[in-house]
Each structure stands twice: as structure tokens, then as C-alpha cells.
Amino acid sequence: MFDMPDYDGHEAVHWFHDAATGYRGLIAIHNSALGPACGGTRMWAYADANAALTDALRLSKGMSYKNAMAELPLGGGKSVIIGDARKDKTASLMRAHGRAVDSLNGRYVTAMDVGMTEADMETLASVTPHVAGYAQKGKTGGDPSPMTAWGVFCGIKAAVKAALGTDDLNGIRVAIQGVGNVGYDTALHLKAAGATLTVADVNETNVKRATETLGATVVATDVIHAVEADVFAPCALGAILNDQTIPALKVKVVAGGANNQLAKPAIHGAKLAERGILYAPDYVINGGGIIRVCGQIYDWSDEAIRAKTERIGVTLAEVFAAAKAENRPTHEVADRIARGRIEAASQKKAAA
Ligand code: NAD
């Protein structure tokens, strides 16, 4: 593991096996200097254990950066269960995973990711208290998507201000790829602020909802990135900013909620900067969801969670200003700030 390209000084990787249920999983803790490591559980039919480890290393590091940029008292972690969520999932297997999480005594707190449902989270919670990010009795929270969307909206405002010099979204043209949970709620906020919307989605029901309630123009999914607009907001897929799409962009800003938007960060982040397109780093702009999860862990009020989410706009404005001053791509600046915060916390912890 120490020689793998995705190993980044991770604190710990724990492997688990439960013979009775066939559970095989792992929990990666990238860094816990800022607080307990937090990130979702992903259940996926990995080709082999190396693929599962690679994913856990990459995703747990991503959570460290996301949590640091959202200024949360949380480190970065991620757990993966090796298996097909449609075929292999049983309540006893979920409980085995819950016991694995519990064995770390709160050093890792799990939320939801691909392959997990609210019901699964409840099953985990029946064996460990270190579970968050789903509707829990007596606690704020539940579905993190609305807060993610509110953060994305605040981030779009900050990006429009930096790129176009205006605080007013009235008449600003936004092309949204994917109007599911995050994309649709973001569209609602944009519409209320007077923006003009163009959308695309592979799901007909979601397209219909966007046209009927938002009056959005619909285009085909393979051309949404090439729409002439002010902002392109990817809210569906990863790796959407790539060799094919970047030359076709006709916007000044890319700012949306999808994870891992840059196909190859070093190459495609630089390409956007070369084209003079302002890119809002995905893990900064989509931090509202994890802020919601964190608020549930620490029992924050809805007001505090909302205020923290609105800070995303301020953080992005700082990233944009530094990128401009240093003539560097925005994703590089965000990575540097995140690493700096994690290193400072690690040194403080070591000194203590
Ligand atoms: P979702 O499944 O509710 O919505 C995604 C939408 O994209 C769906 O309507 C789907 O039909 C559509 N879509 C899929 N392929 C498409 C394509 N080729 N072209 C256009 N549309 C397509 O998911 P979500 O929760 O809204 O998440 C959207 C993105 O935001 C994901 O990348 C997710 O990882 C990221 N994200 C979500 C949250 C959250 O709180 N839900 C938090 C952080 C990041």
C-alpha cells in the first residue's frame, strides 16, 4: 500500500472480514488532525481488493480536502464494502460493517455513499453510534442534497461575481447538466434569483419537472456543455471536464455540484484556466452536504449549518482571488489551501 500511487501518507487503513456473513470491507483514514475522519460508505462490486483499496485511498483523501475547505472539525475517511449492493447486501452484512465502524471507537464516522440507502444507515446505527447523514429522530439533518444545492447556488454567485463582476444573477444564463436532487434544487434557487436556465438530463421525469416548474429550456445531454451561456453547472457526472468537452465550452464560469468534474485535474484544470474559464473546484462548491452531516454529528442548529454553507461563497472568492494573483488554476490553489489547513492541524496535534 505504501508504494501505491494513491497512497498519500494516510494514517490508517483497516481491513475487515466476517466469515459468518461474507462481509469484506475496509476503512481508510486519510487524516484525523482536524477531527474524527468522516466520509461515506460505498458498496461496490470491485474487480479485486486492490481496486477497493485504491478507491478508499483516493476518496478518503478527497474527504480530508473537502472537510478542510468547509472549515469543519472533521478529518477525511471513507469505507468501502466489496460486493454488489443489488445482490450481496443483507441486514447481517450491514451489521458486520456497523461493527467494523464501531471497532474504531469514533475515529471514523460514516455517512452515505453509492450503494447505501437510508434503511442501511439505520441498520448500521443499530450497532454503532458513529453514523450520520440520514434522517435521525431528534436530530437536524437527513438528506444532505438541499444543503449541497444551497452551497452550489452561493458558489455560483461568488463565481459570477469574480468572472463577470456582478452580484446580480438576474438574466444570467446557466446551463445545468443533471436536474436530480442537487441540480434541481440549485435550479430552483437560480430561478428565484432571476437566472435563465437551460437543462439536460437522461431522466425524462426530471426533465419534465424542470420544464414545468422552472420554465427551463431543454437540450440534448450530449450538447449541454456546449450551450452558449454564462455558467455551465455540472450536476450529474464525474470527469465531465475533459479533452472533448473543454474546447466546446462557451461560458465564462464552470460551477456545479458534481464530484470529480476534472477528468485529469492537472491537465484539465490548467486547460480551463488557459481558456479563461473560471472553475469553482468541485469539492469546495459542493461542501454543503458534508456541512449538513457535520451539523448532525455535533448537533448544530439549522441556522449555523446554513451560515457555514454560505461561507462556501466566501471561501471560493478567496480561492479565485489567489488564483488570479498567482496566475494559477483554481483547483491547484484550493488543493494548496486544503493541504495547508491539514498540515497546520497535524503539527498542532503533534505538538500537543
Ligand atoms: P441524482 O442521482 O439525484 O441526480 C443526478 C442527475 O443526473 C439525475 O437526474 C440523472 O438522471 C442525471 N444524469 C445522469 N447521467 C446524465 C447525463 N449523461 N447527462 C445529463 N444528466 C444525467 O444525484 P445528486 O444527489 O443530485 O448528485 C449529483 C452529483 O452531485 C453527483 O456527482 C454527486 O456525487 C454530487 N454530490 C451530491 C451531493 C448530495 O448531497 N447529494 C453532495 C456532494 C456531491
For the chain, the structural domain boundaries read: 12-64+74-125, 145-339
120 lines ligand 1 (CB under 6 A): no
b/e burial code for range 166-182 (CB count within 10 A of at least 16 → b): eeebeebbbbbbbbbbb
Fold match between domain 12-64+74-125 and domain 145-339: yes
49 Cα: distance to centroid of ligand 1 (angstroms): 27
What is the per-residue pLDDT across 268-285, written as a single tens digit (0 to 9) for each? 999 999 999 999 999 999
pTM of the model: 0.96
Determine if ligand 1 sits within 6 Å of the CB of residue 237. Answer: yes
**Rounded to the nearest whole angstrom, what is the distance from the C-alpha of residue 4 to the centroid of ligand 1?**
30
67: Cβ–Cβ under 8 A, 6 or more apart, which residues? 34, 35, 38, 74, 75, 76, 287, 290, 294
78 carries an active-site annotation = yes
Q: For the structural domain made of 145-339, what CATH number should be given? A: 3.40.50.720
- Any bridge partners for residue 252, and if so which? none
186-223 pLDDT, tens per residue? 999 999 999 999 999 999 999 999 999 999 999 999 99
Q: How far is 288 from 256, CA to CA, in rounded Å? A: 12
pLDDT of amino acid 132: 96
Q: What is the pLDDT of residues 8-18, one digit of tens each?
A: 999 999 999 99
Task: Report the chain's mean pLDDT, rounded to a whole number.
Answer: 97
Q: Cβ(260) to ligand 1 under 6 A?
A: no
Residue nearest ligand 1's atom 36 by CA: 258
> Ligand 1 pocket, 201 CB below 6 A?
yes
Q: How close is the Cα of 287 to the center of ligand 1, in Å?
A: 14
Domain spanning 12-64+74-125: which superfamily? Leucine Dehydrogenase, chain A, domain 1 (3.40.50.10860)
